[in-house]
A and B are shown apart, each in its own frame.
Chain A
Amino acid sequence: MAPPELIAELIRVVGPRAVVHHTDALRTYDADASMIVAHAPDVAVLPGTPAEAAAVVRLAVAAGLPVVARGAGTGIAGGAIPVRGGVLLSTARMERIEAIEPRSRRALVGAGVVNAELNARLAPLGLQFAPDPSSQKASTIGGNLATNAGGPHCLKYGVTTNHVLALELARPDGTLLWTGDGTPDAAGYDLTGVVVGSEGTFGVITRALVRLTPLPEANRVVLALFPNVIAASAAVSRIIAAGSLPTSLEVMDHNGIRAVNRAYDLGLPQAGETTLLIIEVDGVHEGLDETLEEILAICRAQGAFELRPARTPAEQARVWAARKAMAGAVGRLAPAYLLVDTVVPRTRLPLMMEHIERLRQEWRMEVCNVFHAGDGNLHPMVLYDPRDADQRARAHAIAGAVLKLSIEQGGVISGEHGIGVEKQEYLPLLFEPHELQLHAAVYTCFNPEDCFNPGKIFPAALRPRDLAAQRRARICGTGQFPPSEAGGARAVHQTHPRVADAPGGGQAPSGMEALLPQDVPSHPHEGEAAADHGGSEDLPSLALKAGESGTGGLDTATLAAIVGAEHVTTSGAGLAVSPGSVDELAQVVALCHRVGAPVHPCSDTSQLAGARAENPALHIATRRLKRVLVYEPDDLTIGVEAGMRLAELQALLGPNGQMLPLDVHRPEAASLGALVAIAADGPRRPGYGTLRDWVLGLTIVEADGVVSRLGGQVVKNVSGFDLVKLLVGSHGTLGVIAAVRLRVFPRPRATATLLAAFAGRRRALACLDALANTRLQPTAAELIVGPPETSGPLAAPTGGALLALRAEGHPLAVARHMRALRALAGEAGALSADELSGSDEEALWAEVTRRAAPPEAPGASLMRLCAAPARLGAALDVAEAEALSRGLALGMCARGLSGVAYLQVAGPQDGRLDFHAALVRRLRHAHLLDPALAARAAHPCGAPPPALELMRAIKTELDPFNRMNPGALFWRDA
């Protein structure tokens, strides 16, 4: 029971009906859908608004009680069980859908909104919130976010994290904080990404801005029957390997069929081990049957003996209702089940099925296999009677064995349910102790006092606070931050003296330095860092004098001993080393850590040739790190070292009919590590997403030279925090990216682009608006405006605008898109519309990427402008007016459905700076991607993000001495 004063205060905040404190009533909150452990809270509270939720958190923390958030309690890893009592915060009353913006394809919803109800509201608008966990009829958006929920349709559409733009969190101090404003690609750490899947330990999610997806125009569902689960799994592996990307591939074995036949009367054969594979494809009508037929041919070849189409929407609904009710329907087979949620590379599915069958026989238990096969996400459900201790023990034995086998096969221990209490003791099987420390370090930034959902995720014996302290001790030599904690940490973010001295820097500059994509270190700051920590006896550092090299103390001999003399060079820009392996890289970073030298990762030191830095630094080039770590084409995943160039990666993937759908200027020079560090995007993001969606795992070298692996090599993963998201777009400020594991895509069978010319931008934007309102699935929609050109693929009249609209996929679907897009362009008043393919199409897109890259001509800068898609037109108007008033030439290239625009601005330096400052003032999200100019800009990264303090806390925790690429990605204090 909670203290009466607390109950009285809670009642004052939320009213008497929303506070549950009777012991018997509290029992109903002692379990979620897992019933693994039972522990009741001291009090349960149902706030109705975010402000009430924040007040509840404040009261709970003040009373010294933990806060456990609960949505509908449909989780099956024990995530919502208050294992240490405290205040249970139910979001059940926070069920308002506050706004739906169809053109920007986003919605603002309360955490307690039920997934299915949001989708019911969206369907009449032709939109959906794509994550469709089986519990969606009851489960809430907040709960979906906390576990990064998946679902049958995530094979095509991705999991929850791919569909959220920003979150509102109740923080330990009782304040509310938005992780961002929902603008795509806003600069700063991806806090949204790391909060998703953190299972309520990072704060209470109170609202979310979620991304919406158009409903497909058409779909097909087929039930394929196989003689056994191994054959069905083999078919799934073959379908993925063949380059098809169905919407769903779901397997249901004979026990699953038994359960749903009873519940849903699907009339499926129950003979022997007959196993069902549910196949769904969607898209435009054209080409759909042909795509399906290719998949069915594979099924037949793999032994499918019957293929039953579900033709009507009602039939399809019944199939999916049955599939999604599976976990509950198992209640018809046994009083309880233990659902093991692991993910393995898809090629290992048949092998895992054999293992599970062996375990089943060995332990004499029934197992029901119903799983998201297309993602490699296994869900063996071990059936048992909880009242029988022996059965219970055997069920747990099987579950433990499946977890271990999954890890052995390169998998992870949770794909969508989370760790909760169910798997916390298994986490050390997946992560080394120092990797757990890294998880704990991030955890303490969000939840320093252990007040949110304590006792979860980490093994019971390992307190996150202790783990974080161990990491600090590892890096700083004590459990505390270095004596200069405040200074050291803030220096990263504060005005650098040299920057302040720069022209125009008389008043305190408060912008952030643009991180430089091109691997050219922007501003060496090692002098300050060293000076800050100079006094620490544990941390011998360089006593730098003004003007001295930032590499002092690092002698070439020591570096040469690590990497070989030929890989250490000196130039006007400073020292450069090129490690030949991840291990060498780690040794170099460790050395820098010991001597207190800052680390500037870059992909190729040749780019430094001739450069003359004001304060030379140590550059670590990754150009020799280009080994392939793992590539199983049939899994559609690849792992490579970070120095591999994009063009080299594409060359590897090409022969297997695969690709990374990222188009950047000069792919032969762009390393994957750098691309991930700057979160590069490409024009094809409407069709495929961005690197944020494709990076499955990273190997990083932490500030003290320790090598840690984040994420995994599988397409779904909720095993520990999603630290990968923090690193994507971190500009090397949290660690050096040493290796990248990626999801790759089958090359489309056909591609074509419609290039439409319009007399003015407004007409082109009207065409985009009309396109956004359709159910077409273009893979790119680029708006190109000026500067006028008379030749080349993007020749356009003065004042005119071009739209490049691309479609990829089955030839029939591409042809249909071209027809439909041409009609849309015509209706919007296009002057001309040409269909391009082959080398013309390639040349067009090469030119588009050039327009989104730093201009080669002197006197010009690149800037990135981000806005909600609905406000893109207005943002471009502002940019044009501001450029015009300063006499600047402006070329704009905008991802029209995504809200990201690249501006090439030419004119006098001061004019460009002033122009950028005006954009920041009026539009907030304007990044100045020009290192020389950024040094002088007040806000090079745009206006400070709302969660800047939290970002700083993370930076301080992970890199307390500010040695990881100092000078990049920071906002100065105002």
Chain B
Amino acid sequence: MTLTSPDRESLSIPLAPFSARDRPSSDIINTCVHCGLCLSSCPTYRETGLEMSSPRGRIYLMKAVDEGRIGLESEVFQEQMSQCLNCRACEAVCPSGVQYGAILEASRAQIEQARERGARDPAAPGSLPPRPLWQRALRGVVFGGLFKDMGLFRAFSASMRLYQRSGAQWIARKSGLLKLIGMADTERMLPPINASFTVPRGQIYPPEGERRYSVAVLTGCIMSTAFASVHEATIRVLQKNGCEVILPPDQGCCGALHTHGGDLDGGRELARRNIAAFEALGVDAIVVNAAGCGSTLKEYDHLLHDDPLWHERAAAFSRKVKDVHEFLAGIEFNRAGLGRFDVQVTYQEPCHLAHAQRITVQPRTLLTAIPGLQLREMHESALCCGSAGVYNVTQPEMAARLGARKVDNALATGARVIATANPGCALQLAGELRRRGEDVQVRYIVELLDESYRRGGGS
């Protein structure tokens, strides 16, 4: 057995090493024993076959930066940190238990921090060239404004609804303007915005029948506008299950886009606000109906682990968070009220449900409880659909490849409805189906349950 020989390429000195703040944990990086069992679970590896586009390859790149062999300025490193969907399928299959999401998000934060340093002083040591001005402005508006102020967000959503309904969308699409500014793919993902928004004002919805639980619901950002109808369905389903449902005021976006996008501080700010909004309620559970939000909320304790004032509170909060499917399948849920709903459904597993939260059985338990519903499993049901937050904008090509792969697999089942549980997935699937002109619906599982309860009579 030969001992490691020095890397022959280690002579050049990296310019921008990891900095101390939000540094990806060396311990986590070194937990990877390089076994490679993650490879076939990774959507980008499956598409490209490239080692650097695999979880093992990306961790290896992080390790190279961690050990000072390459720097943040490496375009390969930057590209791979961006190309990763953060779907965390690798995390679910990793025998060593590498917390991949944590080091990926930290690596992205390192890149953003170095860019910010570069924006302040291009000559600063360890800095990267800043993003172009328009990108910085956009990130500022999105991360710093839109998703932090729900009033602003609702106003923006309303304007989008106006755009869709006024004919402006038609003009923009037909005129080629969208193509001109390179926004055609992104624009197609724009959901039809719901007419009424869910505005959390401390409403309390009474349980149907005996009160068994008291739960609070996270309304979030896009879920409360574009998918407000899903919230309405969720509330009705919870009521059917003996839950008193509270929508606490002062809550906001969960911060997933921020933490995934390298703006950890922005994410922390939102986390603190949500913790404060929920912690005093004394509810049995904080129920979340969007997979991405649920996984973010469950990881507030990690996000705030360096914050002595908030860490304990975050941990207490995270313990209470339950995905809606997890919650329903974990109680004696109301099967008697479910009415017959003859429909063929295939299930697209949101990554942040299947991988980040390891919730795979419960959604199927709920679906198959619906009388008449046929569940047709698709090939690669847990392979990311390519949505992944802002991935459509940052990696449009890979997003399109994965979206097409997912819809191919879904259509192959012959199902008329694709069930899912996350706004990103819903938009991605609907966008791809619309592009193909396919008459297949995308529905949240809670919407199907709600429909079944409706058919079962009762209220």
Contacts and interface: CB of A to CB of B under 8 A. Distances in A.
Nearest to A78: B2
A138 B33 contact: no
B35 A328 contact: yes
A74 B37 contact: yes
A123 interface: no
Nearest to A46: B49
Contact of A137 (B3, B77, B93): B93
A36 B1 contact: yes
A139 B32 CA distance: 17
A263 B49 contact: no
Counting chain A residues whose Cβ lies within 8 A of the other chain, the interface size class is 35 or more
B459 interface: no
Given A262-B97, A396-B1, A112 B35 contact: no
Nearest to A340: B1
Among A40, A116, A329, find the residue whose CB has the most chain B CB atoms closer than 10 A: A329
Contacts of A138: 36-40
Interface in A28-57: 28-40, 44, 46
A28 B2 contact: no
A332 B8 contact: no
A72 B39 contact: yes
B70 interface: yes
B129 interface: no
Nearest to B74: A24
Contacts, number: 147
A336 interface: yes
A332 B96 contact: yes
Interface string B74-103: 111100000000000000011111100000
Interface string B85-123: 000000001111110000000000000000000000000
16 contacts: A17-B48, A20-B52, A28-B52, A37-B4, A38-B4, A72-B36, A72-B39, A72-B40, A74-B39, A327-B33, A328-B95, A331-B97, A331-B98, A335-B31, A400-B1, A422-B2
A717 interface: no
B60 A28 contact: yes
Nearest to A93: B49
B431 to A, nearest CB: 24
B51 A28 contact: yes
A417 interface: no
B158 interface: no
A117 interface: yes
Nearest to A70: B51
Interface string B27-47: 000111111111111000100
B1 A338 contact: yes
Given A23-B9, A338-B1, A400-B1, A326 B95 contact: yes
Nearest to B49: A92
Contacts of B77: 24
B5 interface: yes
A648 to B, nearest CB: 44
Contacts of A28: 51-52, 56-57, 60-61
A254 B430 CA distance: 51
Among B1, B39, B50, B75, find the residue whose CB has the most chain A CB atoms closer than 10 A: B1
Contacts of A24: 61, 64, 70, 74-77
Contact of A116 (B5, B7, B40, B76): B40
Interface of A: 17-18, 20, 22-25, 27-40, 44, 46, 72-74, 78, 90, 92-93, 95, 112, 114, 116-117, 135, 137-139, 262-263, 325-332, 335-338, 386, 392, 396, 399-400, 421-423, 425
A283 B50 CA distance: 41
A31 B56 CA distance: 11
A327 B36 CA distance: 10
Given A31-B34, A116-B40, A135-B37, 17 more contacts: A17-B48, A20-B50, A20-B52, A22-B75, A24-B77, A27-B7, A27-B69, A28-B57, A32-B34, A33-B34, A40-B8, A72-B36, A74-B35, A74-B36, A263-B95, A331-B97, A400-B1
Contacts of A327: 33, 35, 95
Contacts of A34: 34
Contacts of A40: 7-9
A272 to B, nearest CB: 24
Contact of B37 (A20, A137, A400): A137
A399 B1 CA distance: 9
Contacts of A326: 95
Contacts of A396: 1, 3
A338 B4 CA distance: 13
Contacts of A386: 4
Contact of B51 (A78, A90, A336): A90
A38 B6 CA distance: 8
